[in-house]
């Protein structure tokens, strides 16, 4: 026991150091603010609008990423094909590119001279300094998270179950909707969350394509550059609290959605079995 306790303590010490490293800056920045000052900044600095834009764009980006990457995740989890490694490397590329570079690269395609940008401008859609630009930048840097999480989610679904569904008469598309996707949902949902988190925190790519309208992180950076820590510090705390709240909400929703119903039902059943046991 003594050995084991010492081992646990040895594991805990570095972990506590890490936790302090995360918590200390957050805590001090929050404690530095007074509620009155936060309220003042919230009303006057424009962070509220920026935050709204950030959340709207990040949510849209996460949903678009889900549409584009869930099928890909399934394909990568289930099938081997020549060049699969290359495809995976390309799909992960946005993770490895510096984000300012990502923004610049995107401008070549979505800028007014770009292949898609010029075509879009003809129908009155511009990516430069618009909501759509923010969306594109966020999507580019965050979609790989969706892809990888979805792939892992689908990978954890036994092929046996899909085969069983097919022997019961379900065509492949039905198998996907009725078996694979529901069983991969915890992976897919955590992918959505990670994608959203990555998207909402993006500065580099967003500021290259669409510095205006300012998203919250860009707004905070801008404030920091122009007027120092007083306002930007308060804005940072506001962003932190908003994201924290959103994350807690999401985790709660996922916990309800992502858990198989087994947990609830089996508890009820356990009670029942005890009754039966008594009867016998």
Partner 1 sequence: MTMEMPSKSFSVPPAWQEALPLRLEALEVQAGLFHLGPVELHLQAGQVGVLVGPSGSGKTMLLESVAGFHSVAGGEIWLGNQRLSAQPVETRKIGYVFQDFALFPHLSVRENILFSAPYRGGRAVYERLSSVAALLGIESLLERQPSSLSGGEKQRVALARALVTRPRLFLFDEPMSALDAALQRPLRRELRKLLRSIGVTTLYVTHNFAEAQALGDVVGVLRQGRLEQFGTLTELFEYPKTPWVARFVGMENMWEGQVEDRSANGVWVWCKALGTRLFVATEPDAWPNGLPVVMGIRSEELRLVSPQRLPYAENLDDEVDFATDRALFLEKRNLVPVQVAELLREEALWRVSLRVPEASGELIWQTTIRPSADRAFCWLSPQQLRLWTREEK
Q: Nearest approach, Cβ of 178 to partner 1 (angstroms)?
A: 8
Q: Nearest approach, Cβ of 259 to partner 1 (angstroms)?
A: 10
User: Toward partner 1, which CB reaches closer, 230 or 273?
Assistant: 273
Which of 28, 167, 225, 226 touches partner 1 by CB under 8 A?
167
Q: Cα separation of 41 and 78, whole Å?
A: 51
Q: What does residue 63 show for φ and ψ, rounded to 5 degrees?
A: -70, -45
Q: Cα separation of 46 and 36, whole Å?
A: 16
The answer to whether the CB of 76 falls within 8 A of the CB of 70 is no
Using CB under 8 A as the binding rule, whether residue 119 contacts partner 1 is answered as no
Q: Is 124 helix (H, G, I), strand (E, B) or coil?
A: coil
User: Toward partner 1, which CB reaches closer, 21 or 79?
Assistant: 79
Q: Nearest approach, Cβ of 266 to partner 1 (angstroms)?
A: 4
Site for partner 1 in 50-79 (CB under 8 A): none
The answer to whether the CB of 176 falls within 8 A of the CB of 104 is no
Contacts of 152 (CB under 8 A, 6+ apart): 73, 77, 187
Q: With CB under 8 A, what is the number of residues at the site for partner 1?
A: 24
Using CB under 8 A as the binding rule, whether residue 179 contacts partner 1 is answered as yes
Which among 215, 213, 210 is positioned nearest to 200, based on CA atoms?
215
Using CB under 8 A as the binding rule, whether residue 81 contacts partner 1 is answered as no
Using CB under 8 A as the binding rule, whether residue 269 contacts partner 1 is answered as yes
Which of 165, 192, 199, 239 touches partner 1 by CB under 8 A?
165
Contacts of 74 (CB under 8 A, 6+ apart): 150, 151, 154, 176, 180, 184
Q: Nearest approach, Cβ of 275 to partner 1 (angstroms)?
A: 12
Using CB under 8 A as the binding rule, whether residue 189 contacts partner 1 is answered as no
Using CB under 8 A as the binding rule, whether residue 156 contacts partner 1 is answered as no
Using CB under 8 A as the binding rule, whether residue 178 contacts partner 1 is answered as yes
Q: Nearest approach, Cβ of 84 to partner 1 (angstroms)?
A: 16
Q: Nearest approach, Cβ of 173 to partner 1 (angstroms)?
A: 11
Q: Nearest approach, Cβ of 158 to partner 1 (angstroms)?
A: 7
Using CB under 8 A as the binding rule, whether residue 166 contacts partner 1 is answered as yes
The Cβ of residue 166 has, within 10 Å, a number of other Cβ atoms equal to 14
Start-end of H helices in the chain: 2-32, 35-44, 47-78, 84-96, 99-110, 115-122, 131-155, 159-167, 172-175, 181-183, 185-200, 204-209, 216-227, 229-258, 262-279
Q: Cα separation of 101 and 114, whole Å?
A: 16
User: Toward partner 1, which CB reaches closer, 68 or 257?
Assistant: 257
Which of 262, 271, 275, 278 touches partner 1 by CB under 8 A?
262
Using CB under 8 A as the binding rule, whether residue 266 contacts partner 1 is answered as yes
Residue ranges that bind partner 1, judged by CB under 8 A: 158, 160-161, 163-171, 174, 178-179, 182-183, 260-262, 265-266, 269-270
């Amino acid at each position: 026991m003594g050995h084991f306790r010492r081992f646990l303590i040895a594991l805990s010490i570095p972990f506590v150091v890490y936790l302090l490293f995360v918590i200390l800056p957050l805590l001090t920045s929050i404690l530095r603010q007074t509620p009155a000052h936060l309220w003042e900044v919230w009303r006057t600095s424009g962070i509220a609008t920026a935050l709204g834009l950030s959340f709207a764009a990040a949510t849209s980006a996460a949903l678009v990423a889900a549409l584009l990457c869930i099928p890909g995740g399934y394909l990568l989890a289930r099938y081997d094909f020549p060049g699969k490694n290359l495809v995976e490397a390309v799909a992960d590329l946005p993770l490895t590119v510096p984000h300012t570079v990502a923004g610049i690269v995107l401008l070549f395609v979505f800028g007014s001279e770009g292949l898609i940008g010029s075509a879009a401008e003809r129908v009155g859609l511009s990516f430069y300094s618009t909501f759509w630009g923010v969306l594109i930048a966020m999507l580019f840097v965050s979609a790989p998270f969706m892809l990888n999480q979805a792939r892992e989610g689908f990978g954890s679904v036994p092929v046996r179950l899909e085969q069983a569904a097919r022997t019961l008469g379900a065509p492949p598309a039905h198998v996907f909707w009725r078996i694979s996707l529901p069983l991969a949902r915890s992976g897919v949902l955590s992918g959505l969350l990670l994608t959203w988190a990555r998207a909402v925190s993006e500065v580099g790519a967003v500021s290259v394509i669409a510095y205006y309208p300012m998203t919250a992180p860009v707004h905070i950076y801008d404030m920091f550059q122009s007027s120092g820590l007083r306002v930007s510090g308060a804005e940072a705390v506001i962003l932190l609290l908003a994201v924290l709240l959103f994350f807690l909400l999401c985790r709660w929703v996922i916990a309800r959605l992502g858990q198989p119903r087994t947990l609830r039902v089996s508890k009820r059943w356990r009670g029942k079995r005890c009754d039966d046991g008594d009867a016998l």
